[in-house]
């Protein structure tokens, strides 16, 4: 049975934004790549019916907290851990570590929950138990390996800061959309 998987990725130029850092949405793509590779390592695919198993795995929750930026050509280790194995769902934790540099640096943490569903004739989804062939190969990671510090979903703080403050704080209040529209015309 398996509860952990790791892949290494290199940040491509097309994955960066105008500030020269990896766009936040690409962390979710990296999570999905790790999840798909995890399933392939077990002999399965997340795509429809393969290997005699019919299922759909829509995402029902996704989150990511960022602690440091990634840049073009950074080498990134993406570690997947099975946080929770439910009867009809799986929750994964992800840890992103920059590998180039004097020592690995954790740059982000993510979480993804997928539901196991079956598509009905009318197109609706119905939650169903994980097929036994899959459930037998996946187990929940030991608690000692899971994130046990700051819970995911909390506001990250500036690294090296003496006082707890959000990473990004507007220097002045942001104007509302109504204010922007009324001054534009």
Q: What is the pLDDT of residues 128-185, one digit of tens each?
A: 999 999 999 999 999 999 986 334 444 444 444 444 344 444 444 444 444 444 444 4
Are the C-beta atoms of 64 and 108 separated by less than 8 Å? yes
pLDDT at 85 over 70: yes
Q: What is the pLDDT of residues 18-63, one digit of tens each?
A: 999 999 999 999 999 999 999 999 999 887 665 555 678 999 999 9
Average of per-residue pLDDT across 81-100: 97
| Residue ranges covered by each domain of the chain | 4-184
- Is 74 catalytic? The answer is no
Among 1-5, 57-61, 120-124, the least confident range: 120-124
The per-residue b/e assignment along 20-44, b for 16 or more CB within 10 angstroms, e otherwise, is ebbeeebbbebbeebbeebbeeeeb
Q: One of 17, 65, 122, 136 is an active-site residue; which one?
A: 17
pLDDT at 65 over 90: yes
Are the C-beta atoms of 128 and 55 separated by less than 8 Å? yes
Fold of 4-184: Thiol Ester Dehydrase; Chain A (3.10.129)
Average of per-residue pLDDT across 119-125: 84
Under 8 Å CB-to-CB from 31, ≥6 apart: which residues?
62, 64, 78, 80, 92, 94, 110, 112
pTM above 0.85, yes or no: no
């Amino acid at each position: 049975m398996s509860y952990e998987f790791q892949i290494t990725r290199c940040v491509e130029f097309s994955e960066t934004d105008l500030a020269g850092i990896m766009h936040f949405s690409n962390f979710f793509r990296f999570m999905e790549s790790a999840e798909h590779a995890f399933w392939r390592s077990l002999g399965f695919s997340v795509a429809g019916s393969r290997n005699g198993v019919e299922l759909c795995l829509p995402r029902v929750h996704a989150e990511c907290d960022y602690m440091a930026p990634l840049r073009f050509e950074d080498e990134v280790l993406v570690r997947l851990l099975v946080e929770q194995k439910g009867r009809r769902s799986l929750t994964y934790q992800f840890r992103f570590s920059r590998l180039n540099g004097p020592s690995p640096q954790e740059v982000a943490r993510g979480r993804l929950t997928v539901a196991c569903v079956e598509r009905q004739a009318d197109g609706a989804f119905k939650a169903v138990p994980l097929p036994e062939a899959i459930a037998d190969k996946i187990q929940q990671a030991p608690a000692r390996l899971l994130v046990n510090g700051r819970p995911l979903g909390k506001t990250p703080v500036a690294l090296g800061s003496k006082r707890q403050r959000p990473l990004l704080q507007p220097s002045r209040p942001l104007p509302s959309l109504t204010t922007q529209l009324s001054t534009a015309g």
